[in-house]
Amino acid sequence: MPRKTINRQVKEPPLFDIFKPRGVAVQKNEFIIMNLDEFEAIRLADYLGLDHKESSLEMEISRSTFSRLITRARKKLARLIIEGKQLKIDGGQVHFRQNIYECHSCGHKFKMSIQEEVKTCPSCGSRNLFDLAGGFGHGRCCSNHSQHRGKGRGRGKRS
């Protein structure tokens, strides 16, 4: 029987969650779904250049689990490029460390700790905010988890 999947740590929600090749009509059945933990693996290894060990520590998972994640994510990106598929980033068992808010009044985007609840835009004072973590169905669960992080897994708090 497989072990229960542990929620993986993701720094923050992605700013963009849908990608498609130019000239390809949007068709719902043509999406490749990349989970949020696969997105984080790409960000850590390929964008930031961390090795598998550093990346696995950052995500609070084993090195072998990280290796499987990055392999799956790269395969999906290859299909996107070679086959002209569309990509949607969504799902997976994750907790965010930070959140990103976007003001629909002035367009300002800003980052906050996942524990902080924001009511108004620091730029214009508007209450018309979009919570990116909330858009992925996260928020309170991530905040509660980050307050307890480090207990029972043998790893310290990461920023």
In a domain, 100, yes or no: yes
Confidence of residue 26 (pLDDT cuts 50, 70, 90): confident
Please state, in angstroms and rounded to a whole number, the distance separating the CA atoms of residues 120 and 112.
12
| pTM, 2 dp | 0.80
User: In this structure, what token pair is assigned to residue 146?
Assistant: 């980050």
Rounded to 5°, the CA angle 21-95-127 comes to 80
**Is residue 156 assigned to a domain?**
no
pLDDT, tens digit, for every residue of 76-104?
A: 999 999 988 899 999 888 989 999 999 99
Q: Domain for residue 78, yes or no?
A: yes
**pLDDT value of residue 30:** 78
Average pLDDT of the residues of the chain: 85
For the residues 17-36, what does the mean pLDDT come to? 83
The rounded distance, in Å, linking the Cα atoms of 34 and 50 is: 20
Question: Can you give the residue range of the structural domain that contains 63?
Answer: 8-148
The pLDDT value recorded for residue 158 is 33
What is the model's pLDDT at position 151?
Answer: 36
In sequence order, what are the residues at sequence separation of 6 or more whose Cβ sits closer than 8 angstroms to the Cβ of residue 48?
Answer: none
Percent of the chain's residues with pLDDT above 90: 60
What are the two backbone dihedrals, phi and then psi, of residue 71, each rounded to the nearest 5 degrees? Answer: -65, -45
pLDDT at 143: 59
Domain count, the chain: 1
Both tokens of 21, joined, read: 């090749």
pLDDT the model gives residue 46: 97
